[in-house]
Amino acid sequence: MNQENNNEIEELSELQELVPEESNAIELIGKDSADEKGFLLENPCTKGWLQSFEAHSMPWILLDRKLNLLWRNRAHEALYPDFRPGDNFIAYFYKYLGEEEISKIYRSLRSKEQGFSYQGRLEYKTVERAKIIANITLSPLFLEVMGKEEPVGFACHFDDVTSDIQNILRQTFKSLLEASKLKDNDTGNHIERVNAYSSLLAEYLFRKHSFPQIDQDFINDIGFLAAMHDVGKIGTPDDILNKKGPLEPWEWDIMKEHTKNGAFLLSTYPNPMAKEIALAHHEKWDGTGYPYGLAEEMIPLSARIVAVSDVYDALRSKRSYKEPISHEGAMNILKKGIGTHFDPRIGEAALQVQKNFEDIYSRLADP
Ligand SMILES: [Fe+2]
Ligand SMILES: [Fe+2]
């Protein structure tokens, strides 16, 4: 067991002292249960249970009364491959549950009134893997042979609700996006392409370990939320949005408001990345962008990535006020903007994966 786990266990012991004793309290930690462990796994009742749940589609585990993992089925192994027999449930999921929830688990599992059981939600996330959201239920096991009124272990199942929850969240964004599409003159597949360049850049930067903020969730999120960058144009007058030829200074001032309007619209949405992108995708690395003239690291990373994607695609595309530019031409302009318009690490990354940029533009070309 590594140092980090040891520290966690120590913290757990301290934490457990905080949990009030209850009339039917059982010891969950700090007692040797080696005999019970063998007994639990070998007992005919448990054995039959283990066999029938081995290939069950839902992840199931069996814990001893100290919440050490005794057994898990294949579905659980696939979902949490690093949680191995012998590991302690609380120590393993400690940082994802939080102290308050852990106290609740202890209280519930020690309480006869609550049926020695617990129900809650676990959001598990590592740098390498995307977040897994699961509803978990811990239920007590009573073996009459042992003659105890207390659980001798716990069965726990995990209901993976990640995709359900993400679909609900995405649906809330989609309706706003659809509304904004009716209005914006950036027609065709612009937003799909900006999503694709942005997740490509994020993936590349993740593999290069360029930014510690980038993990699998960041890559998934930006690949969906980059599309939201111009939703604030819902509030921009049509004659400014569709004007052929350059805008007057006063018209520019109104046009620039789409960043703040977008942030306002997205401020109550569940993922803050959407708001960051809408607000800051026109900021520039040297501080000469808008709406606030933020510079360098003050600009949210997601917005710095979308800035590169959006500019490349805008250069390639025909707009009411301009003709399209070739891939090489667009990359040359991007290159000139490294260190002034764009974060150097992201601009350089775009040059490295430029073949993929070109492929995305052709694959998702406007009809
Ligand atoms: Fe914009
Ligand atoms: Fe755009």
CATH code (residue 270): 1.10.3210.10
Q: How far is the CA of 300 from the centre of ligand 1 (A)?
A: 15
Mean pLDDT of the chain: 87
Which ligand number lies closest to the CA of residue 311? 2
Residues 101 and 195 in one domain: no
Which ligand number lies closest to the CA of residue 289? 1
Q: How far is the CA of 205 from the centre of ligand 1 (A)?
A: 23
Q: Which amino acid is it at 70?
A: L
Q: How far is the CA of 304 from the centre of ligand 1 (A)?
A: 13
Residues 173 and 232 in one domain: yes
CB distance 296 to 343 below 8 Å: yes
Residues 168 and 113 in one domain: no
Domain that holds residue 44: 3-160
The domain boundary residue, chosen from 107, 126, 160:
160
Q: Worst-scoring range by mean pLDDT, 26-30, 49-53, 91-95, 106-110?
A: 26-30
Query: CA-CA distance, 121 to 110, in Å (whole number)?
Result: 19
The domain boundary residue, chosen from 145, 160, 175:
160
Q: Which residues pair with 153 in a beta bridge?
A: 64, 141
For residue 84, give the 3-state DSSP assignment: coil
What CATH code is carried by the domain that includes residue 153?
3.30.450.20
What is the pLDDT, as a whole number, of residue 246?
87
Q: What is the pLDDT of residues 264-286, one digit of tens each?
A: 999 988 899 999 999 999 999 99
Closest-CA residue to 270 (of 171, 202, 179, 203)? 171
Report residue 104: phi and psi, to 5°: -65, -40
Residues 254 and 342 in one domain: yes
Residues 208 and 324 in one domain: yes
How many domains does the structure of the chain reveal?
A: 2
Query: DSSP letter string over 254-311?
Result: HHHHHHHHHHHHHTTSS-HHHHHHHHHTT--TTS--SSS---GGGS-HHHHHHHHHHH
The domain boundary residue, chosen from 160, 184, 217:
160
Q: What is the pLDDT of residues 139-181, one digit of tens each?
A: 998 876 555 677 888 999 999 999 999 999 899 899 888 888 8
**pLDDT exceeds 60 at position 18:** no
- pTM here is 0.80
Tokens of 338: 């490294």
Residues 356 and 260 in one domain: yes
Which ligand number lies closest to the CA of residue 188? 2
Q: What is the DSSP letter of 322?
A: B
